[in-house]
Amino acid sequence: MSATVAPALPREKTRDVPAGYWQGVRKRLLRDKVTLICAGLLLLILFAILAAPWISPHPPFQGSMIRRLKPIGFPGYPLGTDELGRDILTRLLFGGRLSWFLGITPVAIAFVIGGTLGVVAGFAGGWLNMLIMRVTDVFYAFPSVLLAVAISGALGAGIFNAILALTMVFIPPIIRVAETVTTGVRNLDYVESARASGSGAFTIVRVHVLPNVLGPIFVYATGLISVAMILASGLSFLGLGTRPPEPEWGLMLNTLRTAIYTQPVVAMLPGACIFVTSICFNLVSDGLRSAMDVRA
């Protein structure tokens, strides 16, 4: 990648040859400062929460009745303490692990399941398409928050149930996107010619369809992570996700609600973490979308 070096004459020539798709994506991404900054911030947060056991100043569950609800900058507790005297910084670091896990896992599972079903529906067409898409329509008839609350409310609190509920929420939209892009690719000439030359359905999907549809589906899924984080923390906020004393941003926000009159700034910190993470995921997804030139 010496494209930025002043090019000599023969280099000018090679520039006329259209560069590879991924090279173009890379180039556009490197020029997109907002996306790069957000991706950097996300990496920083990821590193911090993964390293939580080593960089946290205190154990996450150690409370102290005489040090409850201390303000930011309290000696030894840089971000203050919560309603049970536990260090906020420590709990934010540990809480991020669960919040990220709860936000990303459902989207990842839904990407695999929804992507598969959508590609199958789009490629097969006919009654299989009808079946898959009509069932999808039913789940589309619920507003997403309501569906998540309904499923996890019926199943009861717990991390597993929350992930199950959120996965159910994200499968239908991913199926729809996957079906749309696959239907678009299915009727293109090169797929037709592959079929004429005797390729089996599996080979066509693997060689010709997947490389063309995975990008758009993936970009769409990254955009869902932001929603998933807000929803996952929202479920914990309602008491449906994580259970105390486990640290998680949404749950911390809930338990700190009682402290808004005494330590408002401390009480706002977990929500600010959700906000920053969510907005970064959103902007990175937008950047990927325009860099990969996805129109969906």
- Is 272 among the residues that bind other proteins (CB under 8 A)? yes
- Is 268 among the residues that bind other proteins (CB under 8 A)? yes
- Is 183 among the residues that bind other proteins (CB under 8 A)? no
Residue choice 42, 151, 174, 213 for contact with other proteins (CB under 8 A): 151
- Is 267 among the residues that bind other proteins (CB under 8 A)? yes
Residues 217 to 236 in contact with other proteins, rule: CB under 8 A: 226, 230, 233-234
- Is 154 among the residues that bind other proteins (CB under 8 A)? yes
Minimum distance, C-beta of residue 258 to other proteins, in the bound complex (Å): 11
- Is 111 among the residues that bind other proteins (CB under 8 A)? no
Q: How many residues bind other proteins (CB under 8 A)?
A: 44
- Is 13 among the residues that bind other proteins (CB under 8 A)? no
Give the interface segment with other proteins, choosing from 11-19, 50-58, 88-96, 263-271 (CB under 8 A): 263-271
Residues 14 to 43 in contact with other proteins, rule: CB under 8 A: none
Minimum distance, C-beta of residue 143 to other proteins, in the bound complex (Å): 3
User: Nearest 5°: phi and psi at 57?
Assistant: -75, -25
- Is 155 among the residues that bind other proteins (CB under 8 A)? yes
- Is 141 among the residues that bind other proteins (CB under 8 A)? yes
Residue choice 29, 150, 210, 292 for contact with other proteins (CB under 8 A): 150
Q: What is the 3-state secondary structure (H, E, C) of the chain?
A: CCCCCCCCHHHHHHHHCCCCHHHHHHHHHHHCHHHHHHHHHHHHHHHHHHCHHHHCCCCCCCCCHHHCCCCCCECCECCCECCCCCEHHHHHHHHHHHHHHHHHHHHHHHHHHHHHHHHHHHHHCHHHHHHHHHHHHHHHCCCHHHHHHHHHHHHCCCHHHHHHHHHHHHHHHHHHHHHHHHHHHHCCHHHHHHHHCCCCHHHHHHHHHHHHHHHHHHHHHHHHHHHHHHHHHHHHHCCCCCCCCCCCHHHHHHHHHHHCCCCHHHHHHHHHHHHHHHHHHHHHHHHHHHHCCCCC
- Is 257 among the residues that bind other proteins (CB under 8 A)? yes
- Torsion angle of the four alpha carbons 165, 167, 172, 173, in this order, in degrees rounded to the nearest 10: 120
Give the interface segment with other proteins, choosing from 21-29, 47-55, 142-150, 194-202 (CB under 8 A): 142-150
Contacting positions for other proteins (CB under 8 A): 134, 137-139, 141-146, 149-151, 153-156, 226, 230, 233-234, 237-240, 250, 253, 257, 260-261, 264, 267-268, 270-272, 274-275, 278-279, 281-283, 286
